[in-house]
Every structure is written in C-alpha cells, then in structure tokens.
Amino acid sequence: MARAYLIGGTPRTGKTTLTMRALRERPMLAASTDAIRYTLRRIIHESDEPDLFHLGKYTSNEPERRNYLRTNPLDMVAAQNKESVVVWKSVVNFINSNLEDGFDVLIEGIAVLPELVAQLQCDYSVIFLGNQSEEHYQTILHSARSNKHDWMHDLEDETIEAFAIFNQVFSRYVAEKANEHSMTYIEVRDSNFNEDMNTALKMLLREQ
C-alpha cells in the first residue's frame, strides 16, 4: 500500500537535509510545502487569500517589521499557521492523488503541522524537527554569512536575530502540538546535527 512520509518543523532545522537522506534510502515522489506556497502565490490574488501573503513581509530589514518579529513571536507563529492552513489544502490534494495512483510520496515543510497531519485519512509516517536553543542564532547567522545562496544572506544581523527568536518560539509550539497528537518531535542539536538526522531518518522510515 502506498504511504505518505511527512517531515515538519521549523526553518533551519534540517528538514531539507532529512528529505535528501530519506530519498536516497527510499526513492519516491517528493514536494516541498514552500514550493507549493510559492506556486499558490503566483496564481491566487492576495485579496482572495490574504493569509497566504502575510508572513513573508516580516522577514525584512525594515526596523518596524523586524521589531515586530522580535517582540511578537507568538503572533507571527499564528500568522505562519494561518498561511499553512491555506497551503495544506493543496498538499492534501497532492498526497491523495499520488497515493491513489499507488505512489509513495514525501512532503516536507513548515506547513506540515501536527494538527493538520492528524486530519489525514491515509497511511502515513511523520516526524517533526525543531531547535529551541538560544545558541541556534549563531548557527543560522554563520550559515547566512558563509553561503551567498542562503536566502538569509542579505539580511542584517539584527533581522536574523529576530528570526531566531521567532524560530525558537515556533519550535516550542511544534513540540507541544506533536506531543499533544502523539507524534514524534526531535530537538535538533547544532553540535550533534548528523546524529540527530540519522535518528530522525530511522524513525521516519521505520516499518509500522
């Protein structure tokens, strides 16, 4: 029977890395909720789905927006989740259409939330990644400064710091919701990244 594999969690915690490792172990169709979101933004007008366009405006070097991200992380988590609800509708269609055709499918991204996954009516395996450490800011900053292709490369240090605060709060939210729905959450440690990725891979692909 075809199966859905889902990788959720916060940005900068290894979802893409885990996806690539999973696909090497078990080749299958894969999609990112980020890619689905970007596609939806091109075909849906903002006035029709305003929640789909809200969050990205706050990952900005503009002082007012940066300060809002820093001081209101819970509000931004709520905004992120509203966006994810919009994206999730298309994610479910993608999953169901491929499972009906007999193909396993892997979905990764921040729109994979425990409360949304719990609504799936199919055979699935899911894992969530997060990083609640205050030191994670330094890892994010180093990656942004050392890789010109990093999407955060042009953001100022203060903006990245604000994003790291949001990410920490978001990780806490994901951990709590995963526990509430009896789903697996892994706290990814910067100092033990590969070990945690290996653990996550085994748990994602384990036979049920």
Domains of the chain as residue ranges with CATH:
4-205 (3.40.50.300)
Buried b (16+ CB within 10 A) or exposed e, 158-170: ebbbbbbbbbbbb
Q: How far apart are CA 80 and CA 129, in angstroms?
A: 16
% of the chain with per-residue pLDDT over 70: 97
pLDDT band at 59 (very low <50, low <70, confident <90, very high): confident
pLDDT reading at 58 higher than 80: no
pLDDT reading at 8 higher than 60: yes
pLDDT in tens, 99-154: 999 999 999 999 999 999 999 999 999 999 999 999 999 999 999 999 999 989 99
Alpha helices in the chain (DSSP H): 15-25, 33-43, 63-71, 73-100, 114-117, 136-146, 157-180, 193-205
Single pTM value for the model: 0.95
Q: How far apart are CA 95 and CA 151, in angstroms?
A: 27
